[in-house]
Chains A and B, each alone.
With several copies, the nearest count.
Chain A
Amino acid sequence: MEKPDMELIKDGKRLDGRRPDELREIKIEVGVLKRATGSAYVEWGKNKVLAAVYGPRELHPKFLRNPTKAVLRCIYNLAPFSVEDRKRPGPDRRSVEISKVSAEALSSVVMLERYPNAGIDVYIEILQADAGTRCVGLTAASVALADAGIPMKDIVAACAAGKISGEIVLDLMKEEDNYGESDLPIAVMSRKKDVVLLQMDGKLTREEFKKAYELAVNGATQVYEIQKAALLKSVNDVKIEG
């Protein structure tokens, strides 16, 4: 449990050469699956994540239906081979928690009241995991919702900040997550910057929190630009095809 000391920042550079406030490389593809209503694929550092959306559609079982709005459900799943030590198939407690907070985050922006009694299902598959998967998953899911044509008040963009070797940095990768001092994943409505997901663990003073929070919001803003570009490209591609 005790985290060994490890020098994670040297001469202002991190293990992978990034500056403290620098994101890993992010690549987004829209509409990658045939059966789903909408889908997106995100590569973010070594993370590889697929998100798919089905719906709005009939919700089963019936007792889950809400006569005033659609119910958005989310399943976050880690593929057995996505981590170095094989993960047993099926949901564990961590996945259940991430699924819950992700569904809540997306419900903040989707115009659920337009589809009373309906269900909207969001599936997030982590194909390769390297820290920050819940942020990658939400980022992908949000693009998939847009690809599905589901009306949203805003796009959700996510990013983490954290503290490693005493310094607040953006977007932790695996080694930084393992040996760092704290992690603060957030997701925001891209334009208003209101937070829709916020979790944190480790040790942060109030001041460190504020700094990390603002860094993460800034990261999410950069993520949003990449989401927007990918969506724009997909719309244009469709136009060209048409």
Chain B
Amino acid sequence: MDIEAYLRRDYVTNLIKEGKRLDNRKFDEYRKLEINKGYVGEKADGSAYVSLGDTKVLVGISMDVGEPYPDAPTSGVMTVNAELRPMASPHFEAGPPGEEATELARVVDRGIRESGAIDTEKLFIEEDKVWVVFVDIHVLDHYGNMIDASGIGAIAALLDAKIPKYEDNKIIRGEHTVKLPVTCTPIPCTTAKIADCVIVDPDMDEEYAMDSRLTVATTDTINAMQKGGQGTLREEEVLDAIDLSFKCAKDIRRLVEGN
């Protein structure tokens, strides 16, 4: 594996230098993206199955009633959790989330939280009781760029989500009232730097070859950013990545908001 990874890394890098990508995409071209909202709709309160090329992520939303944070007593609560299931890659292991899963969950969380996408004020029930929105990211097949697939899945699942019926201090499972109040559609877009070129949506091989990556989650503004990898970025590269992210997010947002 190591030697294969090394050779592929080399091959990918040389291709990029010639202005090409392994799968013939342009530098600013996303892989084929499919979103299947309501995929596990019989049990989850919201869900979306995302295929980004060969990367597959399923995101489920579970609503529960809980306590608000003391410093925001009338606001609902969102919590994002990511599981890199061992079926998704030979490098993933069973067990509690490691640093990769933790970073993934936190970057997706920030994009949603900082854009104010969930109108948490509307999740207030009564004193000391608010709706808690669990966003569970389940990575099933890891073929590169998990962050975007997960972030897209998360906002798509939130758009699919409905609030369960709540009567006599009890949740009536299987029955719902209204849609979860979502105010905007934050979209993460990740670029990678390989051989001093900035490309969009790296696949698995490109991730082996990249020096660094930059994720930019946007609505009408930038809401979250995260650099990854041991490489460096120059100011122009960062600004390029931002421009590319705004651009790609438009098409993705249309798809996420559709069907």
- Chains A and B form a bound pair: yes
- Residue numbers of A with Cβ under 8 A of B are 1-2, 33-36, 39, 46, 48, 50-52, 54, 57, 75, 77, 79-86, 89-91, 93-94, 96-97, 99-101, 104, 107-108, 121, 123, 125, 127-130, 182, 184, 189, 192-206, 209-210, 213-214, 217
Chain B: interface residue count, which band?
35 or more
B227 close to A (CB within 8 Å): yes
Residues of chain B within 8 A (CB-CB) of A197 are 227
| Chain B binding surface SS class | mixed
Q: 1/0 per residue B134-172: CB within 8 Å of A?
A: 101010111100000000000000000000000000000
Scan B216-250; emit 1 where CB is below 8 A from any A CB, else 0.
00000111111111111111001100110010000
**Pick from A39, A84, A192, A201: contact of B224, CB under 8 Å:** A201
Q: State the B residues within 8 Å of A (CB).
A: 39-40, 42-45, 47, 54, 56, 58, 60-62, 64, 69, 72, 75, 81, 83, 85-90, 94, 96-97, 99-100, 102-103, 105-106, 110, 113-115, 120-121, 134, 136, 138, 140-143, 173-174, 214, 221-235, 238-239, 242-243, 246
Q: How far is the CA of A51 from the CA of B140 in the complex (A)?
A: 10
Query: Secondary structure at chain A's binding surface: helix, strand, loop or mixed?
Result: mixed
Q: How far is the CA of A213 from the CA of B234 in the complex (A)?
A: 11
> Which A residues lie within 8 Å of B121 (CB)?
2
- Extra contacts besides A2-B120, A35-B87, A36-B87 (7): CB < 8 Å: A89-B83, A104-B227, A104-B229, A193-B235, A195-B238, A199-B225, A214-B235
- Name the one of A57, A130, A202 contacting B42, with C-beta atoms under 8 angstroms: A130
Complex: how many Å from CA A97 to CA B60? 23
Are B62 and A86 touching (Cβ within 8 A)?
Answer: yes
The answer to whether A210 and B239 have CB atoms under 8 Å apart is yes
